Amino acid sequence: MKACCPKDPTHKKFITVAHVSQDWVVDEHGNFLEVVKDLETVANPDPWNTWTCAECGAEALCSS
C-alpha cells in the first residue's frame, strides 16, 4: 500500500486512523480523565480508511 498526495508528490506524511489500547485514569463513574500509557496497536491503519495529507490537507490517493 502506498499513499500519495494528489497536490504535491513530495508530501510524504499522512493522517489516518489506527486503533490502540491504552491504560486510562478515570473518575469514580468511569469517565476518562487522562491517558497513562499506550499499550499496543490493536489495528494498524487500513488502506480503506480516509488518508489525509498532513502537510496540505488533501485527501490522499492510495494504491496497492
The residue with cell 499496543 is: 40
Number of domains in the chain: 1
Alpha-carbon distance of 2 to 8, in angstroms, equals 14
Distance CA 36, CA 12 (A): 30
pLDDT at 15: 97
Tens digits of residue pLDDT in 2-61: 999 999 999 999 999 999 999 999 999 999 999 999 999 999 999 899 999 999 999 999
pTM of the model: 0.77
Residue span of the structural domain in which 49 resides: 2-63
**DSSP per residue over 18-63, as a string?**
-EEEEEEEE-TT--EEEEEEEEEEEEPPPTTS--EETTT-PBPEEE
